[in-house]
Structure 1
Amino acid sequence: MTTILVTGGTGTLGRRVTERLRADGHEVRVLSRHTQPYAVDLRVGGSGLDAALAGVQTVVHCASSPRGGDEEAAERLIAAAGQAGVGHLVYISIVGIDRVPLGYYKAKLAVERRIEASGLGWTVLRTTQFHDLLVTILGGLAKPPVMLVPAGVPDQPVEVREVADRLAELALAAPAGRVPDMGGPEVRTLDSLARAYLHATGRRRAVAQVPLFGRTYRAARAGGLLTPEQAVGKTTFEEYLGRRFEG
Structure 2
Amino acid sequence: MTTILVTGGTGTLGRLVTERLRADGHEVRVLSRHAQPYAVDLRAGGPGLARAVAGVDTVVHCASSPKGGDEEAARHLIEAARAAGVRHLVYISIVGVDQVPLGYYRSKLAVERLVEESGLGWTVLRATQFHELVLRVLQGAAKLPVMLLPAGVSDQPVEVAEVAARLAALAAAAPAGRVPDLGGPEVRTLPDLARSYLRVSGRRRRVVEVPLAGGAYRGFRAGGHLVREGAGEPEGGHGKVTFEEFLTERAERAGRAGRAGRAGRAGRAG
Pick aligned residue for 2:246 from 232, 240, 244: 240
Pairwise CA distance, 1:231: 5.0
Are the aligned partners of 2:7 and 2:32 in contact in 1 as well (CA < 8 Å)? yes
Are the aligned partners of 1:183 and 1:228 in contact in 2 as well (CA < 8 Å)? no
Q: Which residue of 1 aligns with 2:220?
A: 220
Residues of 2 paired with 1:153 and 1:44: CA distance? 38
Pairwise CA distance, 1:74: 0.2
Residues of 2 paired with 1:87 and 1:21: CA distance? 17
Residues of 2 paired with 1:246 and 1:202: CA distance? 13
CA distances 1:53-109 after superposition (whole Å, capped 9, x unpaired): 111000000000000000000000000000000000000000000010010000000
Q: Which residue of 1 aligns with 2:7?
A: 7
Number of matched pairs: 247
Secondary structure of the structure 2 residue equivalent to 1:71: helix
Q: Which residue of 2 aligns with 1:121?
A: 121
Are the aligned partners of 1:186 and 1:231 in contact in 2 as well (CA < 8 Å)? no
CA distances 1:186-207 after superposition (whole Å, capped 9, x unpaired): 0000010011111111111111
Amino acid in the other structure paired with 1:52? A
CA distances 1:177-235 after superposition (whole Å, capped 9, x unpaired): 00000110000000100111111111111111111111111110011110143251100
Q: Which residue of 1 aligns with 2:77?
A: 77
Q: Which residue of 2 aligns with 1:31?
A: 31
CA RMSD of aligned residues (A): 0.8
Q: Which residue of 1 aligns with 2:139?
A: 139
CA distances 1:85-135 after superposition (whole Å, capped 9, x unpaired): 000000000000001001000000000001100000000000100001111
Gaps of 5+ in 1: none
Residues of 1 paired with 2:53 and 2:43: CA distance? 16
Secondary structure of the structure 2 residue equivalent to 1:158: coil
Considering only CA atoms, is the larger Rg found in Structure 1 or Structure 2? 2
Which shifted more, 196-205 or 86-95?
196-205
Alignment of 1:1-247 (within 5 A): 1-229=1-229, 230-247=236-253
Are the aligned partners of 2:180 and 2:237 in contact in 1 as well (CA < 8 Å)? no
**TM-score, length-scaled by structure 2:** 0.90
Amino acid in the other structure paired with 2:54? A
**TM-score, length-scaled by structure 1:** 0.99
Residues of 1 paired with 2:237 and 2:132: CA distance? 18
Provide runs of 4+ in structure 1 moved above 4 Å.
Answer: none
Residues of 2 paired with 1:42 and 1:217: CA distance? 31
Are the aligned partners of 1:200 and 1:246 in contact in 2 as well (CA < 8 Å)? no
Q: Which residue of 1 aligns with 2:267?
A: none
Amino acid in the other structure paired with 2:173? A
Residues of 1 paired with 2:46 and 2:142: CA distance? 41
Gaps of 5+ in 2: 230-235, 254-270
CA distances 1:5-46 after superposition (whole Å, capped 9, x unpaired): 000000000000000000111110000000100000001112
Residues of 1 paired with 2:77 and 2:115: CA distance? 10
Residues of 1 paired with 2:149 and 2:46: CA distance? 42
Residues of 1 paired with 2:45 and 2:26: CA distance? 26
